[in-house]
Amino acid sequence: MSDETTDPGPVTTLATPIRLDFEFTPGVAQSKFLRGLERGEFLGQRCATCGKVYVPSRGSCPTDGVPTTEDVLLGNSGTVTTYCVVNVPFAGQSIEIPYICAQILLDGANLSFMGLIQEIPTDQIRMGMRVEAVWVDEAELTPSLASVRYFRPNGEPDADYETYKEYL
């Protein structure tokens, strides 16, 4: 043990982390969606007025303001409507860059949601690409989007622009 103390130098930075802990309780509609994920399925809801299918559903139609009561089982495949290739590292990043973040319109749905695309070089992603969900092993399925590992190309020809232009 030395009696010399090390000069730590002047203070130049200050750590100021912020943190919010909260508990989330999904409502009836979102619980159905999450229970579907636990079974390896995408479950949406249809509006009886306009006929649109929302996934995940919030339990009502944002256009018509009526409850969405009809449950609709959606396909495991969908269409990339738009995408972003992430090249920038950031704190807390859990996926190796570069990776693709895409808006995916599931077959039978009228609302796209964000998904990770894998198993394809980032320079080959394109609008209209047909993709399918890759799920975790059955024993690891939970009522969470973590049950979907990622989406990957399903080998089908690209979707026609006219089929998804309303969802950009």
Partner 1 sequence: MADSEVLHAEHRLEYPYSRSTGPVIGAFLTALRDGRFLGATGSDGRVIVPPTEYDPITSDDVGELVEVGPGGVLESWAWVSHPLRKHPLQTPFAWGLIRLDGADTALLHAVDAPGPEALASGVRVTARFRPADERIGSMADVEAFVVGGGAA
Residues that bind partner 1 (CB under 8 A): 8, 10-26, 31, 34-35, 38, 91-92, 143-144
Q: Which of 17/89 has CB closer to partner 1? A: 17
Q: Give me the least distance between CB of 162 and partner 1, in Å please.
A: 38
Q: Which of 57/112 has CB closer to partner 1? A: 57
Q: Give me the least distance between CB of 135 and partner 1, in Å please.
A: 18
Q: Which of 1/65 has CB closer to partner 1? A: 1
8-11, Cβ contacts within 8 angstroms, sequence gap of 24 or more: none
- The secondary element (H helix, E strand) that includes residue 150 is strand 148-153
Residue whose structure tokens are 């080998």 = 155
Instruction: Report CA-CA distances (Å) from 18 to 11, 21, 88, 90, 93.
Output: 20, 10, 22, 16, 17
Q: Give me the least distance between CB of 93 and partner 1, in Å please.
A: 12
Among residues 40, 48, 47, which one has the least CA distance to residue 134? Answer: 40
Q: Give me the least distance between CB of 32 and partner 1, in Å please.
A: 9
